[in-house]
Structure 1
Amino acid sequence: RGAALDLADPASVAAFVSGWSGPLHILVNNAGIMATPETRTPEGRELQFATNHLGHFALATGLHEALAAAGNARVVAVSSVGHINGPVRFEDPDFTREPYDPWLAYAQSKTANILFAVEAAARWAKDGIAVNALNPGRIAETSLGRHLQAPPASFDPAGTTGVSVKDTAQGAATSALLAGSPLVEGVTGRYFEDCEEAGPHTEGVRRGVAAYALDRENARRLWELSTRLTGTDA
């Protein structure tokens, strides 16, 4: 069914959540923006962090009861290999103390997607909810790169390898696997790419998952920060 939802607007997320009824079996947190000019929400949040993470956090936690009611629900958090460019900036997530960098802001939001999966998997295991994150690959067919004038050197530093370039169908494959395949039944709190669990990130290779993105203490800390920033009872 269709309903309006603006992830950067807490009131829109709250309205969507309050309008939901019945169990929810699959939630794919797929919306996102990338490398936007410095922009803040009316609440003062940096736009990429607000849209890519905080909006999805409020949505998923707000729908927790519906997910639990399904009995075996799955939540899929679409992250990016861009997370390897930087961790969550716990002391300055909104770039109020240091100059704004669109790529560090994007990296932070994508790292946050993975940390959300790690913590939600632990908190919601008792409810039968599986939560996983993934890298869909680089998909030129979408409008995600609409703010780019040219491929940025900072996004692919000289000497890096392993970028996973895909078309839209290929990019959706890992999300579909995590959302519905029996092959990953019972798997939770993991990060996938190319339809399999990713290994550790290696310097100079744009693949794998950074250790800070799977760190349980970082995940707990982000959950608490996100709860405060969104005003949710998560």
Structure 2
Amino acid sequence: MMSRITTPFGYDSTAAEVIAGVDLTGRRAVVTGGASGIGVETARALAGAGAEVTLAVRDRVAGERVAAGIIDSTANNKVYVAPLDLADQASVRAFAANWTGPLHILVNNAGVMASPLSRTPEGWENQFATNHLGHFGLTVGLHDALAAAGDARVVSVSSSAHLSSDVVFDDIHFENRPYDPWLSYGQSKTANILFAVEAAKRWAADGIVTNALMPGGIRTALQRHVDAETVRQWEEQYQWKTPEQGAATSVLLAASPLVQGVTGRYFEDNNEALPAVDGVNMSGVAAYALDPESATRLWELSEQLV
């Protein structure tokens, strides 16, 4: 067992706190879904530390508005907006093709949660297509730019919801089983972790580190498909984080010297997660999400699909 990575930061820490004193001048970052929720605060923290930040977003108007706000609050005018629809592989390929020069930080932050069943033109189930396959295609498409950076970091925003489902390789797209929005979301979030495990292995020689994380429970537009009763239950069970706290673990993995060289791990509350314990709700990491054979199998399948 590799020793567990811990930091002085925890549940309450904010993105600004974990990046305090870090200078990202000259470094370039992409944040998917950077126009809403924790994506905004992730981008703001990176820009505040001097990075050039591109918000990769579906809604360009919202992206431009957020970029203007970040420029205003950080006095860093190198905040850009580029279109990206993760459910559309043509859009993903176009984003990667249009990128020039090195890329030091890629935060795969965008996602959909517990949405009703819908399918992409390829017939892929939408949550898996967006949360995993879109980010897979994007990251692989940006591999050469990440390698050119020499010490790039890829950060994938997963969720404790991964504990609800392994990747069901026999029926990923719910063609032969009843669709369950939460099992679908859970499997897509497991896939985010497995991606980090496999990319860590494949890309170590390129100086690229890849990690995944659970941001915590944050009230954002991500929950737009969740019914009011479920949200009410959550409010009784959990303490919500602010978006600034929710972005902290992403920013730690993207920029902190405390995790320099760390790769293939899953973090929550700014520390590497402990193994999940049966009956303990919503924390820790499932053994199946770190399984190297599953990680390789998922990578090979994803390559065939995209």
Q: Shared topology, TM-score over 0.5?
A: yes
Amino acid at match of 1:50: A
Q: Map 1:147-158 onto structure 2 (within 5 A).
A: 147-152=225-230
Unaligned runs of 5+ in 1: none
Partner of 2:153: 74
Partner of 2:162: 83
Amino acid at match of 2:225: H
The CA RMSD measured in Å over matched residues stands at: 1.5
The answer on 1:4 being equivalent to 2:68 is no
2: distance between equivalents of 1:74 and 1:176? 11
Q: Displacement, 1:66?
A: 0.2
Unaligned runs of 5+ in 2: 1-79
Deviations 1:153-205 (A, max 9, x none): 9x97xxxx985631100000000000000000010000000000000001122
Q: Displacement, 1:152?
A: 3.0
Q: Map 1:59-208 onto structure 2 (within 5 A).
A: 59-140=138-219, 142-152=220-230, 163=238, 165-205=240-280, 206-208=282-284
Whichever of the two has the greater Rg, that structure is 2
Q: TM-score, normalised by structure 1?
A: 0.93
Instruction: List 4+ stretches of structure 1 deviating above 4 A.
Output: 161-164
Q: TM-score, normalised by structure 2?
A: 0.71
The answer on 1:223 being equivalent to 2:302 is no
Contact 1:137 1:163 in 2 (8 A): no
Amino acid at match of 1:139: I
Paired residue secondary structure (1:139): coil
2: distance between equivalents of 1:97 and 1:59? 28
2: distance between equivalents of 1:226 and 1:150? 34
2: distance between equivalents of 1:164 and 1:196? 18
Structure with greater helix share of residues: 2
| Matched positions, count | 224
Percent of paired sites with the same residue: 66
Contact 1:49 1:109 in 2 (8 A): yes
Deviations 1:134-163 (A, max 9, x none): 0001101x101101122439x97xxxx985
Partner of 1:51: 130
2: distance between equivalents of 1:171 and 1:204? 24
Amino acid at match of 1:130: V
Contact 1:163 1:207 in 2 (8 A): no
